[in-house]
Amino acid sequence: MKHALAIMVGAALILLLATLTLVAMPYVQMSSEAVPEALEPYTTAQQRGRDLYIANGCIYCHSQQPRDPGFSSADSERGWGRPSVPGDYAYDQPHLLGTMRTGPDLLNIGARQSSVDWHLLHLYNPRAVVEDSIMPAYRFLFRVVDEPREDQHVVKIPEPYGPDSGVVVATREALELTSYLLSLDRTYPADTLPRAEAAEEEGEG
């Protein structure tokens, strides 16, 4: 039993060491980073849209972290924005950095594409605006009605993507998701991380 306990205690201690270096230290360093002045907290609608982004798993195809041009210059050349810094995510709970780019990076999609109607149409059927897109359609965020009410947001769908009859209106969810996408704009200037050139070179060595 002593032996078995020794193994388990040893294993736990090693993990605690790792927790110190990989959880506690980064937390201390990053939580002291300044929040950029130009960054606004999410509004209620944007936050609800963000919850929809999570619920429908957008993160599995879209990252939100343009890379450092010193590492990969293509991200900024594609217009995805400057490299992001910890402060850019100050209001993000949970983080949505993502690890996959089946689709493009979205951290600055609001700056690249600011049209509400484009986003709504794209969500209704991505192939209506981007030929051969493999993004899922989110038609369940829309309703088809015969006569839209005054307060309903009608989405004009080009042939042949619309329903056979009636008009498509956006639900509150579709509008909230769109307002979250438009809020994704981290184009304000920000100090980059304290990554000295020397440290960068050392890392690559």
For another protein, the closer of residues 99 and 149 by Cβ is 99
100's tokens: 């996959």
Q: Which is nearer to another protein, 24 or 115 (CB)?
A: 24
Q: Which is nearer to another protein, 144 or 150 (CB)?
A: 144
Distance in angstroms (rounded) separating the CA atoms of residues 64 and 69: 15
The answer to whether the peptide bond before residue 94 is cis (omega within 30 degrees of 0) is: yes
Show the tokens assigned to 133. Answer: 């897109």
CB-nearer residue toward another protein: 66 or 150: 66
Q: Record the tokens describing residue 192, joined without a space.
A: 């980059």
CB of 150 to another protein, least distance (A): 27
Closest CA to 41 of 90, 78, 114, 2: 90
Rounded to a whole number of angstroms, the minimum distance from the CB of residue 43 to another protein is: 18
CB of 195 to another protein, least distance (A): 5
CA distances from 34 to 28, 117, 130 (A): 13, 35, 38
Taking the complex as a whole, the smallest distance from the CB of residue 169 to another protein amounts, in Å, to 17
Which strands make up the sheet holding 167-170, listed edge to edge?
A: 142-145, 167-170, 153-155
**Of 184, 161, 30, nearest to 96 (Cα)?**
184
Q: What is the separation of C-alpha 102 from the centre of its chain, rounded to a whole number of angstroms? A: 13
- Least separation in angstroms between residue 36's CB and another protein is 12
Which of 149/196 has CB closer to another protein? 196
Instruction: Give Cβ neighbours of residue 24 (< 8 Å, ≥ 6 apart).
Output: none
CB of 192 to another protein, least distance (A): 9
Alpha-carbon span 113 to 82, nearest angstrom: 16
Q: Which is nearer to another protein, 83 or 110 (CB)?
A: 83
